[in-house]
Amino acid sequence: MTRRLPDRVTARAAAKVNLCLCVGPLREDGFHELQTVFQAVSLHDEVDVARADAPSLQVSGEGADDVPVDGSNLALRAVHALAAATGNDPGVAVVLRKGIPVAGGMAGGSADAAATLVACDALWGAGLSKDALAEVGATLGSDVPFSLHGGTALGTGRGEHLTPVLGQGDYAWVLALAEGGLSTPEVYGELDRQRATGPVAVASDPGAVLTALRTGDPVQLGRALSNDLQDPALALRPALRALLDAGTEHGALGAVVSGSGPTCAFLCRDDAAAVGLAATLSGLGVCRTVRRASGPVPGARVVAST
């Protein structure tokens, strides 16, 4: 009996915050050697995929106007990469609903690629393992394997080699979305410039975050949050300093620029504290919009198939 393949598949993938982002030297391939602890948090993008005569893309939701709809879009690139890897026809209509800020340092584009990979895998009945999808995903972006994986994980290499982190606890986050995005290559470039011209800086290390995760104590984790891209992001967007300070002054256990920014992530003691901080930051008018999220949450997965 032949297996009926679905006509349409919906998949979702989560945003991430980097609990620490320890940036090592610039490699010859243009990437930096990283040690980072990712946590997937409950802001999601969703994609629908359906067979079509030719690949196409429609985008709606948070910041949709800033998402490229040409061949550079990560969801479309994911369709082509998986089609090539599995021998399928890339004629797929992709509908993307954004819930993750665009160019916000929360791996929104990587989430789109990851969701599209799992959705197309199901649409075509390809049956690839998560590791095999992650191999394809790593060719699209450094954070795509983590977007597939989810949870909390240590990323090494350029971020694509993952080891699950043993930890406990659910964490309550407030995410403050700034006006406009920041370009990831520009923020890394600013780090290189600062390191070339300033005192010799040593990359931070993930030890404190890993220890805090083992205890599950949000106070300890809040103190351990760190990001080597924070100073470069602040140099490019000085207004973020006031936003980080406002979060700390109003009760956050820790405040950090998320990835290459400009989204700022605030860790709170519990959900009630997060509700309070979110309301306060909204009222202060120090950012464009405020979201609450919890983590860790799972990686990209199919949520409907018809």
Q: Which residues are designated catalytic?
A: 16, 143
Q: Are 6 and 306 in contact (CB under 8 A)?
A: yes
What is the distance, to the nearest Å, from the Cα of residue 182 to the centroid of all Cα atoms in its chain?
14
Q: How many residues bind ligand C5P (CB under 6 A)?
A: 12
In whole angstroms, the minimum distance from the beta carbon of 159 to ligand C5P comes to 5
Composition of the chain by helix, strand, coil, percent to 5: 35, 30, 35
Q: Quick one: which segment of 13-21, 49-57, 138-146, 286-294 binds ligand C5P (CB under 6 A)?
A: 138-146
Three-state secondary-structure class, residue 14? strand
Among 32, 77, 97, 149, binds ligand C5P (CB under 6 A): 32
In whole angstroms, the minimum distance from the beta carbon of 120 to ligand C5P comes to 20
Show contacts with ligand C5P in window 158-187 (CB under 6 A).
158-159, 184-185
DSSP state of 112: H
Contacts with ligand C5P, 182-221, as mask; x by CB under 6 A: --xx--x---------------------------------
Pick the closer one to ligand C5P by CB: 111 or 123: 111
Contacts with ligand C5P, 1-30, as mask; x by CB under 6 A: -----------------------------x
Show contacts with ligand C5P in window 54-73 (CB under 6 A).
none
In whole angstroms, the minimum distance from the beta carbon of 292 to ligand C5P comes to 26
Pick the closer one to ligand C5P by CB: 10 or 260: 260
**DSSP string of 199-246, one letter each residue:** S--PPP-THHHHHHHHHT-HHHHHHH-EETTHHHHHHH-TTHHHHHHH
In whole angstroms, the minimum distance from the beta carbon of 23 to ligand C5P comes to 7
Q: At residue 160, what are phi and psi to the nearest 5 degrees?
A: -90, -15
Three-state secondary-structure class, residue 268? strand
Pick the closer one to ligand C5P by CB: 187 or 224: 187
Q: At residue 25, what are phi and psi to the nearest 5 degrees?
A: -70, 155
Q: Are 166 and 214 in contact (CB under 8 A)?
A: yes
In three-state form (DSSP H/G/I as H, E/B as E, the rest C), the secondary structure along 62-108 is CCHHHCCCCCCCHHHHHHHHHHHHHCCCCCEEEEEEECCCCCCCCCH
Contact between 34 and ligand C5P (CB under 6 A)? Answer: yes
Q: Give the chain's radius of gyration (CA, Å).
A: 19
Residues that bind ligand C5P (CB under 6 A): 30-32, 34, 141-143, 158-159, 184-185, 188
